[in-house]
Amino acid sequence: MDEQQEELAALNALHALDDSERSALEISRSRDAELDDLAAELELTAAELASLVPAVTPPPALKASIMAQVRERASAKKLKSPATSSRAQPIAWGMAAVLAAGCFWLWNERSQLAQQVAAMAEVEAEARNQLIRVRDERDALDEKNAKAAQEMGQLAAQLEGMRERSQITQQQLVTLTQEISELRKKDAFAQVQIATLQSTVAAYKEGVAVVVWDSEKHQGLLKLEKMPPVESGKDYQLWVVDPKNPTPVNAGVVQVDAQGFAKVEFKPVDDVSSAAKFALSVEREGGVLKNEGPIILIGP
């Protein structure tokens, strides 16, 4: 490949060859692979440079000017001489230089673009790695959440079991409390003695006297109904008959209202080990320490 062939390749890229020159260049390209590669590279560079130039509307006189140059060039070819060829050579080399500069510029752009693509690929790889780490962390968090949910379910089941057991225990406690209360009532009733006093005296036959005695507390309640009023200066007095005591134990004075009714709580003045009987007598007003008057009610 000589300089003239390089010149033809540069002019061919700019579509500045006539038919004979183009035919000669094609023959040379078919025989010289290096020349063919150069011509192809120059054609590609010229096309890329052309694509970078913005499109403009040609002036109206451009066509006439181009046709005039074509006619002049056709006339010049007839009178072509070596001197003419030598004058065209600097122009071709200038064009080749321009094409070479364009090729260098495109190569530089391609290199920068390749660097940007490589940087973007690196960023993409890093983003992919971060995405994988985030996904792994999310999977681990999901696993922890699932495990926590399972543990919460187990705790909820245990709590429900404890509540059921607590309810059963409370029911049992209520039942036991009721049973204890019943036992206490039974025990309380077992400690209570009820006695109805009766009279052999005609004046007191209609009278009613009931004594409720608590042997544990050593106290009781007396209720009188339809009892006739006592004489002036007299009072009814209650006595507790204890087998271990030689004389009845004083339990206090009892006063009735106009209807002969009385309800009083009493407690013997001395300790009573066992209340075998209760008696009601008529004594001096204010009561006496030892029984003096007649016993009008006694029982049981």
* Residue 278's pLDDT band (cuts 50, 70, 90): very high
| Res 229: pLDDT | 92
Strand partners, 241: 277
* pLDDT (tens digit per residue) in 51-72: 665 655 666 676 677 667 767 7
CA angle 280, 285, 287 (to 5 degrees): 55
* Residue 299's pLDDT band (cuts 50, 70, 90): confident
* pLDDT (tens digit per residue) in 134-168: 888 888 888 888 888 888 888 888 888 888 887 88
| Tokens linked to 273 | 């080990």
Omega cis (within 30) before 300: yes
State the pTM of this model: 0.40
Averaged pLDDT, 28-48: 85
* Residue 82's pLDDT band (cuts 50, 70, 90): very low
Residues 267 and 224: beta-carbon distance below 8 Å? no
What's the whole-number average pLDDT of the chain? 80
In the predicted model, is pLDDT for residue 85 greater than 50?
no
DSSP states along 231-283:
PTTEEEEEEEE-TTSSSPEEEEEE---TTS-EEEEE--SS--S---EEEEEEE
Domains of the chain: 1-50+84-150 (no CATH), 198-299 (2.60.40)
| Res 211: pLDDT | 94
Strand partners, 250: 239
